[in-house]
Amino acid sequence: MGDYFKHLRLMHGLSRTELASRIDMSEKTLQRIELGQVDAKVSQLMTFMNYFAVSPAEVQARTNTVLPNPAAVAKEMAAATDLPQIVQLADELTRLTRKYRTEWLKTSQIACEILRLALVGDEEAAQRLANRMVNGFMLRDFITAYDFQLLTLVAGCVSFDRLKLLLISGQLHRHLGNAAESTVVSRLYRQLLDSAFAEQDPAAVRYVCDVIQSNITQADCVSLQAYRHFAGVLGLALDGHETAAQHDFEALKSGLMVLGAETELAEMAPLFQGWLVAASRLASIAGCTKTLTHQTNIAVNLKAATRVANEQ
């Protein structure tokens, strides 16, 4: 009940002091009700209902605590695209955690807070909390399917080096090629590639490509097979074989359009195209760096040879 009162107050943009003054209640009493330290009296409940114009049915629906299914929570979190939705979900998870104190609810709270921090633009705080979440995963004997779902939601906030450590630990192995979790796995591969390209390091991208190709073996999952084939295309681009990479990509793109017109498969093509362009750019930069290094070495050697000749 206290959480519901707090939720109503915040949704209307009121401070505790303002609301207490408007409903003729002491701020301390309101605070104790919101924190769950005391139960609201019937008269106080009626005051809240009248002030916020909510019905008894709505109050009952919002305050009857029923433990939800983890899959439903993950789905709701994935669908939350703006701050009000995330805040509302966070409030609900806080209420549930106080009552049930289960591990999956606590982890859900953390994931929700990471998403909130990312939405408000506090990237450093989001990454710190996401890295701590991953540290906790690495200490476990195994990562559950639900933990894996939460990881894919916040992986974009995790530093690449921490994601790489988690992959090396083997904790994700049984999930990465699972056709039954193809949507979730695809989401993680997308986050991994985004993080790798953000490093601006061909070795990071190549590592993710190796992970994708070594973990995807099921031939009956089209979306995962698309990632597997595209990892090969990226490998060609990173090696400087741009023509071959483009040829293979066009074949893959045609297949995606035929197999998945107006589905998520069709949406993969522009996503893959962006990564392919980025890979070609990385290969070009790496090639320029090698050329400059070679030219520098030649210049140094020539200068040394000239100095020796002059001395002689």
Does position 175 have pLDDT exceeding 80, yes or no?
Answer: yes
Using pLDDT thresholds of 50, 70 and 90, give the confidence band for residue 294: very low
Does position 178 have pLDDT exceeding 80, yes or no?
Answer: no
- The values of phi and psi at residue 274, to 5°, are -60, -40
- What number is the average pLDDT over the span 186-208? 93
Does position 4 have pLDDT exceeding 70, yes or no?
Answer: yes
pLDDT at residue 291, as a whole number: 39
More confident: 68 or 243: 243
Report for 70-84, 157-171, 279-293: range of highest mean pLDDT: 157-171
Give the C-alpha separation, 129 to 158, whole Å.
Answer: 9
Does position 65 have pLDDT exceeding 70, yes or no?
Answer: no
Using pLDDT thresholds of 50, 70 and 90, give the confidence band for residue 288: very low
pLDDT at residue 307, as a whole number: 60
Burial 123-156, CB ≥16 within 10 A → b, else e: eebbbebbbebbeebeeeeebeebbbbbbbbbbb
Q: Which of 42-56, 118-132, 153-167, 228-242 has the lowest mean pLDDT?
A: 42-56
- What number is the average pLDDT over the span 204-219? 86
Helix axes 182-198, 222-238, angle to 10 degrees: 20
Query: Above pLDDT 90, what percent of the chain?
Result: 36
> Taking Cα atoms as reference points, which of 175, 273, 270, 259 lies closest to residue 223?
259
pLDDT at residue 269, as a whole number: 87
Q: How far is CA 114 from the centre of its chain?
A: 9
Does position 273 have pLDDT exceeding 80, yes or no?
Answer: yes
Q: Which of 32-46, 104-118, 155-169, 255-269 has the lowest mean pLDDT?
A: 255-269
Does position 131 have pLDDT exceeding 90, yes or no?
Answer: yes
Helix axes 182-198, 160-168, angle to 10 degrees: 130
Report for 28-32, 51-55, 235-239, 280-284: range of highest mean pLDDT: 235-239
pLDDT at residue 257, as a whole number: 80
Sign, CA dihedral 116-2-102-64, equals negative
- What number is the average pLDDT over the span 8-32? 87
* Token couple for 160: 């690449």
Q: How far is CA 206 from CA 17, 137, 193, 200, 233, in A?
A: 56, 24, 10, 11, 11
Q: Are 96 and 69 in contact (CB under 8 A)?
A: no
pLDDT at residue 287, as a whole number: 53
Query: Which DSSP string corresponds to the chain?
Result: -HHHHHHHHHHTT--HHHHHHHTT--HHHHHHHHTTSSPPPHHHHHHHHHHHT--HHHHHHHHS--PPPHHHHHHHHHH--SHHHHHHHHHHHHHHHHHH--HHHHHHHHHHHHHHHHHTT-HHHHHHHHHHHHHHHHTSS---HHHHHHHHHHGGGS-HHHHHHHHHTTTTHHHHT-GGGHHHHHHHHHHHHHHHHHTT-HHHHHHHHHHHHHH---TT-HHHHHHHHHHHHHHHHHTT-HHHHHHHHHHHHHHHHHH-TTSHHHHHHHHHHHHHHHHHHHHHHHHHHHHHHHHHHHHHHHHHHHHHHHH-
Does position 219 have pLDDT exceeding 80, yes or no?
Answer: no
Q: Are 230 and 253 in contact (CB under 8 A)?
A: no
Output the pTM of the full model: 0.67
- What number is the average pLDDT over the span 86-113? 86
More confident: 55 or 119: 119
- What number is the average pLDDT over the span 83-90? 89
- Please state, rounded to an integer, the average pLDDT across all residues of the chain: 83
Structural Rg of the chain based on CA atoms: 27
pLDDT at residue 262, as a whole number: 56
- What number is the average pLDDT over the span 242-256? 90
